[in-house]
């Protein structure tokens, strides 16, 4: 517990010191959100989204780049210190393999999101790697997710899911596509949710505190250390990301954090609890998916606007009000998910 709290405080202080110069550098480099005409997965315009997000143009984008770099550096320093201090490190899996999978997820999905950020920042055309269309990026997400699912199954030997009240269910190789689906689902769910100032980052902090309780229970030091560092950097970032945001996470952070959140949850062995703890992300993604399917199949909208936070905006809710109430909903879902994880 002392190490956990120390890492939260340390990573918070380091990120707090680094983030203001980083924001200034983003202004100098003109890494700013541009006015854009947004399209959905079907390639159709989304004028309601553009209407409510027009005022965010000019905000520095790329907070995820800083957070990823700091998380990796602080984690490496921490583990080198633990190793040379000869402190006991407990883990449910081979430590090197567990750490490798976490950081492969963080970095690979971060790079995928980084190309999207560059395209948005500099208004790059639909050519070359910077012009990857949404459907191709979706395919790349699945390729990465299946790769990670493969490593979870073959390297860590995870092939069970814990079902509350029923216990562990062994599913064998079917775990690989299931893990891939969960990773892709949370990657896009987080990205969809990251539409209002402070919404996704605040919800993620709540989810990570819930994960830390589970990690403590199973004595998984690598996961606990990683979660603590992640929480500390996010709290410092959230200070500048709440309404009105001075910096935006960007796709680099959104894709990396969504995928890594899923992988951490999978390693903790609580898939059902993961879905409940991240319930607000699921609601956001489901509302957006339902809207797209309705427009594709029925040729008309299911909702006047989607995802759910955009529907609330369209109905007159102010942005801070939506975010605060989403955090409260996320807190109760996290408590309920933790309760399920103990069953």
Predicted local confidence at residue 234, as pLDDT: 97
* DSSP conformation letters of 17-62: HHHHHHHHHHHHHT-BPPP---B-TTS-B-HHHHHHHGGGTTSBB-
**CA gap 249, 171 in Å, rounded:** 36
pLDDT at 317 over 80: yes
**Has 159 been labeled as part of a binding site?**
no
DSSP code for 197: T
CB burial of 120-134 (b: ≥16 within 10 Å; e: otherwise) equals bbeeeeeeeeeebee
pLDDT at 91: 79
Q: For residue range 138-194, what is the model confidence (pLDDT) as tens digits?
A: 899 999 999 999 999 999 999 888 887 777 888 889 999 999 999 999 999 999 999
Per-residue pLDDT of 236-272, as tens digits, reads 999 999 999 999 999 999 999 999 999 999 998 888 8
**Which of 20-34, 56-70, 130-144, 195-209: highest mean pLDDT?**
195-209
C-alpha 7, offset from chain centre: 20
CB 33 within 8 A of CB 56: yes
Residue 205 to residues 38, 172, 228, 234: CA-CA distances in angstroms? 28, 32, 10, 7
Report the share of the chain in percent with pLDDT over 90. Answer: 58
Q: Mark 283-303 as b/e (b = at least 16 C-beta within 10 Å).
A: bbbbbbbebbeebeeeeeeee
Q: Is 251 annotated as a binding residue?
A: yes
Q: What is the pLDDT of residue 55?
A: 72
Q: H or E segment at 145?
A: helix 134-154
The predicted-structure confidence for 13-63, as pLDDT tens digits, reads as follows: 999 999 999 999 999 888 888 776 555 544 555 566 666 667 777 889 889
Q: What pLDDT is attached to residue 80?
A: 86
Domain boundaries, the chain: 2-341
What is the model's pLDDT at position 47?
A: 62
pLDDT band at 123 (very low <50, low <70, confident <90, very high): low
Report d(CA 223, CA 264) in Å as an integer.
7
Q: Which two tokens stand for residue 331?
A: 């807190």
pLDDT on residue 102: 95
**Cα(96)–Cα(289) distance, integer angstroms:** 37
pLDDT of residue 32: 84
Distance CA 128, CA 139 (A): 16
CA dist., res. 236 & res. 238, Å (int) = 6
Of the candidates 147, 116, 127, the one whose C-alpha atom is nearest the C-alpha of residue 36 is 116
User: Using CA atoms, how far apart are residues 292 and 44, in angstroms rounded to an integer?
Assistant: 10
């Amino acid at each position: 517990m002392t190490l956990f709290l120390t890492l939260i405080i340390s990573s918070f202080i380091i990120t707090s010191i680094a983030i203001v110069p980083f924001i200034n550098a983003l202004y100098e480099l003109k890494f700013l959100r541009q006015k854009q005409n947004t399209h959905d997965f079907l390639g159709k315009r989304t004028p309601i989204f553009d209407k409510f997000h027009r005022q965010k143009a000019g905000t520095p984008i790329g907070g995820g780049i800083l957070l990823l770099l700091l998380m990796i550096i602080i984690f490496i320093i921490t583990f080198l210190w633990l190793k040379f201090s000869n402190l006991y490190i407990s883990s449910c899996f081979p430590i090197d393999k567990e750490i490798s999978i976490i950081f492969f997820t963080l970095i690979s999905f971060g790079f995928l999101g980084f190309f999207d950020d560059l395209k948005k920042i500099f208004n790059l055309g639909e050519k070359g790697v910077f012009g990857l269309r949404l459907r191709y990026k979706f395919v790349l997400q699945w390729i990465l997710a299946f790769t990670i699912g493969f490593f979870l199954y073959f390297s860590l030997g995870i092939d069970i899911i814990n079902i509350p009240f029923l216990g562990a269910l062994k599913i064998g190789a079917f775990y690989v596509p299931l893990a891939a689906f969960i990773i892709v689902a949370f990657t896009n769910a987080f990205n969809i949710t990251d539409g209002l100032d402070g919404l996704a980052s605040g919800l993620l902090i709540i989810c990570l505190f819930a994960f830390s309780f589970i990690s403590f229970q199973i004595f998984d030091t690598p996961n606990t250390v990683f979660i603590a560092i992640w929480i500390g950097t996010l709290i410092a970032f959230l200070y500048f990301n709440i309404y009105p945001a001075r910096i935006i996470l960007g796709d680099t952070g959104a894709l990396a954090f969504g995928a890594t959140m899923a992988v951490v949850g999978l390693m903790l062995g609580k898939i059902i609890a993961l879905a409940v703890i991240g319930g607000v992300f699921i609601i956001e993604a489901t509302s957006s998916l339902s809207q797209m399917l309705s427009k594709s199949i029925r040729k008309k909208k299911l909702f006047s606007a989607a995802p759910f936070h955009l529907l609330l905006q369209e109905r007159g809710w102010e942005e801070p009000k939506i975010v605060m109430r989403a955090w409260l909903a996320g807190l109760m879902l996290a408590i309920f998910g933790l309760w399920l994880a103990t069953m």
